[in-house]
Amino acid sequence: MERKWLVRWIYASAVGHILVGALLPWIGGIAALDWYHAIVAHTFWPAGAAPAAQAQQAWWISLFGPTIQCVGLLMLALAWFGEQRREPSAWLWIAASLLLWAPQDIWISLRGNVWPNVWLDLATLAVLLPPLLRLWQLDSEEPEAGPTVGEGELFRKILGPEWSKLHPDIQARFGKNPEPGRPLQYYGTLSELRASWFGKLLGHLSKPFIKGALIPYDDQDFPVDIQVYSKADCPHIFKQRIYMLNGRKAIRFTSHMAESEKGEVLEYVGMGLGMKLKLHVADGNLHFTSDGYFWDMLGWRIPLPGLLTPGKTYLCHCNEAPNRFNIRIEIRHALFGTAFVQAGVFRERQEAQKEAA
């Protein structure tokens, strides 16, 4: 919780730099800043400044605006990198840039006796350096070693007593945890891939951002490889799918599953976009239903209106044999109906090799 709020503060500071930089070209000459212009003018023209002096100062302030915007954007990028990767050096780079800038800016301001600049610089250091150093400390700590948590543990926790109603084969399938460097691999054939006109439009529009999440094509009977894996020091479970469509270049799509602070199942599909999933058991099979989409942006989870999403997602994992299961996915939009359909049968690769032997 502490880390989340510290990250949000750094994000807010970065956005603040961008907004202030965008405003400076428009407010450099307003009457509310006359007191500041008077301080600067008195430093260089004690006997009184020429009328054009204030206009020149306003021009310099306006020119400084794009520089502030650039600094804010770079700060935002480093903060995003530090948050997503838990990379301590990202926070140190931001802190180092402040320590490079502030002493020089303070010294130059003191030479000109421009005290408002000095107080602003000191305030900036006071509100940014402590959280940056704390984030560096938090992300530098070695995480406690523990067993890899897989989908099964999360689903068992969410389902509670319903877990026991799942077919034993499904329980065993999700009970396998992918260790880092040792993924679980599945292969199969997608018998149906379908997208409506709305689905095709949405799939092509979203392709540059979340390629593979919404496939805008119709096809059938083509191979699909699925790899479920984990990463060291990361609590998430990743799932990579490779769709080898007929006559097209293979499509690769990777998502990851996480548990929210409220104990919800979240699946992220890219660019911070994701959906909350509800689980239930019917006839021994596992069903997933989306319960709203969201966008994780600058440390905040922002709900998205249903009409602006692909639609409600329904996924059914149905058991057929100890090493065979079928999956059917449908995404239905409230206005445009069923937008996407996927259906296919899969096997675990290692188990299939054992059976063949």
Q: Which residues constitute the domain of residue 294?
A: 151-356
Query: What residues contact 350, with CB distance under 8 A and at least 6 apart?
Result: 185
Whole-Å CA distances, 161 to 106, 152, 208, 284: 63, 14, 42, 13
Position 146 in a domain: no
Domain edge (last residue) among 140, 163, 189: 140
- The burial class, CB within 10 Å (0-12 / 13-18 / 19+), for 218 is middle
User: Sorting pLDDT into bands at 50, 70 and 90, what band is 353?
Assistant: low
User: Sorting pLDDT into bands at 50, 70 and 90, what band is 149?
Assistant: low
**How far apart are alpha carbons 72 and 94 in whole angstroms?**
11
Specify the pLDDT at position 60: 84
User: Sorting pLDDT into bands at 50, 70 and 90, what band is 315?
Assistant: very high
pLDDT digits (tens, 9 = 90+) for 26-59: 988 888 888 888 888 777 777 777 777 778 888 8
pLDDT digits (tens, 9 = 90+) for 240-299: 999 999 999 999 999 999 888 888 899 999 888 999 999 999 999 999 999 999 998 777
User: Sorting pLDDT into bands at 50, 70 and 90, what band is 185?
Assistant: very high
Query: What integer best gives the mean pLDDT of the chain?
Result: 89
256: three-class secondary structure by DSSP: strand
Backbone region of residue 190 per phi and psi (left: phi > 0; alpha: psi in -120 to 50; beta: other values): beta
Specify the pLDDT at position 321: 93
Q: 208 with 329, same domain?
A: yes
The residue among 172 and 351 whose pLDDT is bigger is: 172
Q: Supply the CATH number for residue 289's domain.
A: 2.40.128.20
- Rounded to 5 degrees, φ, ψ at 241 are -120, 135
Helix ranges, the chain (H): 2-27, 34-44, 51-85, 88-111, 115-140, 151-159, 168-174, 197-206, 349-356
- Rounded to 5 degrees, φ, ψ at 146 are -165, 170
**How far apart are alpha carbons 163 and 204 in whole angstroms?**
38
Cβ contact 278:263 at 8 Å: no
Specify the pLDDT at position 227: 95
- The burial class, CB within 10 Å (0-12 / 13-18 / 19+), for 2 is exposed
**How far apart are alpha carbons 87 and 77 in whole angstroms?**
12
pTM score: 0.71
Domain edge (last residue) among 90, 112, 140: 140
Q: 92 with 194, same domain?
A: no
Domain edge (last residue) among 90, 121, 140: 140
Number of folded domains that form the chain: 2
